[in-house]
Structures are given as structure tokens and as C-alpha cells.
Amino acid sequence: MNKTDTTTQKRSTYRHGDLYRALLEAAVELARQGGKDAVVLREVTRQAGVSPNAAYRHFADLKSLLQAVAWAGQSMLAITMEKELATIQLSGDKAQDARAELRAVGTAYLKFACAEPGLFRLAFSEQPDMSNAANGASQGRSGLTPFQILGKALDDLVEAGELPAERRPAAEFFAWSAVHGLAMLNIDGPMRGVDSAQFEMLGQRLIDMVERGI
Amino acid sequence: MNKTDTTTQKRSTYRHGDLYRALLEAAVELARQGGKDAVVLREVTRQAGVSPNAAYRHFADLKSLLQAVAWAGQSMLAITMEKELATIQLSGDKAQDARAELRAVGTAYLKFACAEPGLFRLAFSEQPDMSNAANGASQGRSGLTPFQILGKALDDLVEAGELPAERRPAAEFFAWSAVHGLAMLNIDGPMRGVDSAQFEMLGQRLIDMVERGI
DNA sequence: GTGATAATGTGTACAGTGTCCACAATATAA
DNA sequence: TTATATTGTGGACACTGTACACATTATCAC
């Protein structure tokens, strides 16, 4: 029995070995499939092959588990952004490259929201405050959180002279709001049901708006 | 005992008289105070002074009740928008007035989201599709839904020559996304906790961005 | 090695939930 | 007045999160 295999199989030992991770993985999987309401403590422990109360040795309560899932979701979003950024072929033109960087961040955000709606919704609805903007559990391979990746894109935009410095402060919030809003409206808002091709086009036009207006 | 009083008092008659409305009002009140999770069927019926199962004569299930609450919330948002629009003092300059109209719609959206977070969140997260864009239960005094009010503002913007006609299609979604995103981030996202004065300023700057970029 | 101690998983229990079913009370219409 | 449809009740069931006491096991001082 593989120690890193934290899935459903019955275990022979009394101790689990890596229950924290097993619970988190099961919870993430449930969130992916059925959203927040599908993350049910008893089902999570069931999938980890453990009694319900065992979870309380690793998470204070269900809320804490959901928080951990949210961080994991943010981390995946960060990775999606990093991947999208890696596809940019630099032109050498600083202005053009900075704009492409911002577009990539926004595009990745929308892509992730569409691909993982359950996880996405959780990722940005279970946070007590902004203090986790640099949380370790929510960063990607580069060590940056999604918020920080966006910040860097905006910094580069300023450096390239494409964004007036006086408009830089709090610009994260505006760019973020635009893509976040579209994502939410698409996931469980009044836009739900538009096909993905059309959504992609709307997404690009939304990013156009941000580029013009930010 | 007043027939229109649908609150907690015990009733003498077997029949309630206006249970549908009583349930809806109780549910709305619960949503205002505690958000979606506070709208609990048994508590709603308790407040209406009726047994839990009585609700099933008026709503198919809890989801249907939540849907009705969502529509009521949208209706209130529409009214908030109408009120904000009424405060505009027309300048006679078509362009300026049209811009003011759009700003009023966005401002009202953010105001409502801040003032009634629980209701707001429900209002835009329990809709099966976009077919209720003209739903009767979600319109304001003018007979228009929030979505339609925004649409009119954008039409006026085009008519005033402030928005190129080729950018008009789907423009609702972009304007909507921006304010919706900021609202969500403020209510239960990573922006939660910024004080209301600062949020208002951020809101106006966000609307600046939309005005420039749309 | 051998205990003491801390960490981790189990079992039972409780209050709370949404919803199904059979039944009771009342309004409505023939 | 009487048949029928509407509306509210009571009991039950399968769930949920989680508090409490207990069992098992790892860890570490000696």
C-alpha cells in the first residue's frame, strides 16, 4: 500500500499516515465536482476511509477545511496564470509585452473559472480578509499568489509607460473586479448557459475594456 | 388581527390567509441578516407561525423559496437604481446626462451590494439562466429589471454619441461585470473589511474605468 | 528497553436540517 | 348540503456538524 496514495482504499494501520493531505485532496475533488455544498465533512472522511471525527484532529471545523480548499484553489489559479504567461512570445517591445502580460493574467483567470467553477467559487468566497494576499498555501510555482501576479503585470505596465503611475494604486482591484465579475456571472449568475466559445469572445472584449480604461 | 400582518403572532384561524407572502417576507428578512445560509426552511415557517411542511403548499422546495428571495432582491436593486437615477439633475447636455445615467446605475449597484450584502449575494446566485432578465418579480416601480435599466443607460449613451454603436452589443455584460466583481470582492472576497468611505472611492474609480473603456 | 505523555482515530450521542407520507381542517363549488 | 380541492399538521427518515469519552499508537525521557 503506497503511503502517498491517500484515496479510498482501506488501510491496515490504525494511523493513517497523511490524513491532512488525504482530507484536503478529497475535499478539493468534491469541490471540483459539486461546488461548496458538496464539500461535506462526513463524505470527505468517508473518502479518506476514516471516521467523521478524525477530521477534527487536523481541521478545527468544516469552515477551516473549506478555507484550506480555497487556498488550494487559489494556488491552482496561480499556476494557470503562470502557464498562460509562459505562452507569450516576447516581441521585445516593452509596451506590447506588458499589455500581453496583463491580458494573459486576465485570460487565465477566466479560463480557470470556466474550467473549475466549483473550486473557483470557493477560492474567493471563504476568506476572512485580505491578509492572505501573500499566503503560502495559495501561491503558484513562482511563489506568487494570483493577486501578486496581477500586481506584477500592472507594475510592468507602468514601467512600460502604458499605465500612468497615478492610476497604479488599487488598480489590482479594478482589473480583478472586471474578470471576477464576468466569471461569477458566468458560473452562477444570469449569464450561466452561454456557450464557451461565446464566453471566450466576451472575455476578450472585457479585457479590451480593462486595457482601455484602467 | 390584521390580515396583512404576516409576522410572528399566533393566528386563531386554521388557515393563514397569506402564507406565501409571509414566508417570502420572513425569508427575505433572514437573508438580509444572515445571508443565504440563514434562510432555513424550518426557521422561515417558525417565523410565519406555521408547521415546516406548510411551506410545501407554496414552494416546491427550499430552492424555489430561495429563487423567490432572489427575485425580490433584484426588485429592490431595481428600485435602488431608480432612486439614484432620480437624483440626477439634468444639464441639458445629452452626452453629460447619459454619462451621469450610467454612473448612477453603477453607483446604485454598489450601494445596494454594500447595504444589503446577504440579499445581494442571493439575488445573483440562484438563477438557472438568463431567461429572467425580464422577470416580473424582479422589476422595480418602473417595470424594468436591473438588467433592463442598465441596458437603457447604455442605449442613451449610444444615442448621445458617447458609445460607438459597434461596441453596444453585450456592453451590459462588461459594465455589469465590473461593478458585480467589485461588489463580490467586497462582500465576501479578499477585499472584505475595507471601510465604506474607501470602498465608495474605489467604486467611483472603477466606474471611471468603465466609462473610459466601455 | 520501559514507561509516561502526547498525538491521532473511534463510537456514541445530540440537536438541527430538508422532505416524504398519511391525516385533519377548512374553503369552494355542484 | 354534500363532494372535492386546498391548505396546514404530526410523525418519521436519512442526513448533517460536532461535543464527549475512550481506544490505539507514536514519541521521547530515563
Contact B127 A190 (CB under 8 A): yes
A192 strand C contact, CB < 7 Å: no
Assign B125 a pLDDT band (cuts: 50, 70, 90): confident
Q: Looking at beta carbons, which residues of chain B come within 8 Å of A170? A: 202, 205
Q: What is the mean pLDDT of chain B?
A: 91
Same fold, B1-59 and B72-213: no
The string of pLDDT tens digits covering residues B132-188 is 677 878 899 999 999 999 999 999 999 999 999 999 999 999 999 999 999 998 998
pLDDT value of residue A1? 33
Q: How far is the CA of B3 from the C1' of C19 (A)?
A: 29
Which has the higher per-residue pLDDT, B127 or A159?
A159
* Alpha carbon distance A23, A34 (integer Å): 16
* Alpha carbon distance B196, B181 (integer Å): 16
The string of pLDDT tens digits covering residues B94-103 is 999 999 999 9
CATH ID of A73-213, from 1.10.3470, 3.30.700, 1.10.540, 1.10.357: 1.10.357
The string of pLDDT tens digits covering residues B68-111 is 999 999 999 999 999 999 999 999 999 999 999 999 999 999 99
pLDDT value of residue B189? 77
Query: Global pTM?
Result: 0.92
A15 strand C contact, CB < 7 Å: yes
* Alpha carbon distance B99, B109 (integer Å): 16
Grid-cell match 466606474, residue found? B207
What residues does each domain of chain B span? 1-59, 72-213
Report yes or no: B66 at the A interface, CB cutoff 8 Å.
no
Q: Are B140 and B75 in contact (CB under 8 A)?
A: yes
Report yes or no: B86 at the A interface, CB cutoff 8 Å.
no
Task: Please state whether B49 falls in left (phi above 0), alpha (psi between -120 and 50) or beta.
Answer: left
pLDDT at position A126 over 90 = no
Q: Which residue of B has its CA nearest to A191?
A: B130
Q: Which residue of A has its CA nearest to B212?
A: A213
Q: Looking at beta carbons, which residues of chain A come within 8 Å of B205? A: 170, 174
Residue B182: φ, ψ to 5°? -60, -40
Up-side HSE of residue A96: CA atoms within 13 Å toward CB? 6
Contact A179 B184 (CB under 8 A): no
pLDDT value of residue A22? 97
Q: Looking at beta carbons, which residues of chain A come within 8 Å of B147? A: 190
* Alpha carbon distance A142, A164 (integer Å): 27
Q: How far is the CA of B4 from the C1' of D12 (A)?
A: 34
Q: Are B147 and B133 in contact (CB under 8 A)?
A: yes
Contact B184 A181 (CB under 8 A): yes
Report yes or no: A62 at the B interface, CB cutoff 8 Å.
no
B:1-30 Cβ neighbours of strand C under 7 Å? 13-15
Contact A173 B191 (CB under 8 A): yes
Determine what percent of chain A is predicted with pLDDT higher than 70: 91
pLDDT value of residue A191? 82
* CA–C1' nearest nucleotide, residue A54: C9
- DSSP line for chain A: --TT--SSS--SSSS-SSHHHHHHHHHHHHHHHH-GGG--HHHHHHHTTS-GGGGGGT-SSHHHHHHHHHHHHHHHHHHHHHHHHHT----S-HHHHHHHHHHHHHHHHHHHHHH-HHHHHHHTTS-SSGGGGG-GGG--TTS--HHHHHHHHHHHHHHTTSS-GGG-TTHHHHHHHHHHHHHHHHHHSTTTT--HHHHHHHHHHHHHHHHHH-
Please report, to the nearest 10 degrees, the dihedral formed by the alpha carbons of residues B188, B192, B198, B202 taken in order: -50
In this structure, CATH architecture of domain B72-213: Orthogonal Bundle (1.10)
Assign A132 a pLDDT band (cuts: 50, 70, 90): low
* Alpha carbon distance A187, A116 (integer Å): 10
pLDDT value of residue B132? 67
- DSSP line for B103-144: HHHHHHHHHHHHH-HHHHHHHTTS-SSGGGGG-GGG--TTS-
In the CATH hierarchy, which fold is given to the domain comprising B1-59?
Arc Repressor Mutant, subunit A (1.10.10)
Say which of B173, B193, B206 has its CB closest to residue A129. Answer: B193
